[in-house]
Structure 1
Amino acid sequence: MIFRPSHLIAFLVLALPFALAHRIEIDPGEKECYFESLQPQDRMTVTYEVGGSSGGGHLDIDFYVTDPQGKTIHSQHKKPQGSFSLSADQGGKFTYCFSNEMSTYARKVLSFNVHGQLYIGDDEQIAPVEQEVRDLSSGLQLVKDEQAYLVVRERVHRNTCESTNSRVKWWAIVQTVILFGLCAWNVHYLKSWFEVKRVL
């Protein structure tokens, strides 16, 4: 078999794992569900991170995965981030859901990635170069997931710092107003002790 550059380009397009990145908002008492149609031995990984919350709620979410028969095969409760990988043992629609049903007032902002790789049968011959490309592709996807995680963490930390800075600023202003008010009252009160009152 003669290996041509065009073969490598075509293989790169086919070998790269499928990947999806999303950012959603989930209202209190609601849930969002998605599904992936997998064939036996296809692989899928879901990673998620709660990046914000309105109304002062905790940065957590419920996450669960169900198989094509509706049976829950994985669940995590009240976690700020998580990851789940599966290798499908049967074909069909695998559903994964993010639930904010435990919250009554806080909307959650969630970022999640879905990536995986289609299964290639054992009877298909894979050239060493193709296997290296496949390994590099998986490593690249891990780096991209880590970068996405760091971006979300940076956003959460920045929001926390800005919120803390705003609270400190307003508390300092309130303290300054109280201090000037007390000083003015003390001066007025002490001044009244030294006033000469005329007796008619």
Structure 2
Amino acid sequence: MLRFSAFLLLSLVACLVSAIKFDLEALPSSTAFAHRKCLSQHVGDNTMVIVTVKVGEGYNQRVDLEIFDDSESINKYATRRDVGEQGARLAFSTHADASIFVCFTNTLSDGFNPGPNYRRTIDVDYDIGAEALDYSKIAKAEKLEPLEVELRKLEKVVQEIWDEMEYLKRREAKMRDTNESTNERVQWFSIITLLTLVSLGTWQVMYLRRFFKRKRLID
């Protein structure tokens, strides 16, 4: 029963693995980079990530790959030129709590005109955190039983869920503080605007009253 429960929970958290498949049109070198295709996934700091890329067949085309994040330092994790049909498997650990971008460029060879026939199918798989660990090596190194391995996976997944909840909690608190600060500023701005309008209205009434008195239009 415990083994079945562990398997069921692992099935429920399988959404941590992302798989995307799309066609990438080949363009001349002068415009290919400007029309590159990028996929993004937010990943926490110091998290293991494995990106597996499979490229479909295509002639007179070169698919280049670049992986980086959108942190202040813009960390670059991998660059691959001419990813062929053999594909690529890239593993790295993140250096910042940021979004990871996997960008593809399909460059058409010189002398060929772009067309619907010049495109390649890109298949991308993300393995993040617990899904990126090689539990077979861990099991051999620590001599773990299959059930212990499943429990180790569950422990890692639960820890990641907890970290994600803590991250969302911090973001919610930050957004709440920002909203409260904005509301307070709007409130003071409204009060100052109201006082300014009342002051201007009073000044205008007094000025017009003095003006009409000088012209002897009112007593």
- Could you state the TM-score of these two structures normalised by the residue count of structure 1? 0.50
Higher helix share: 2
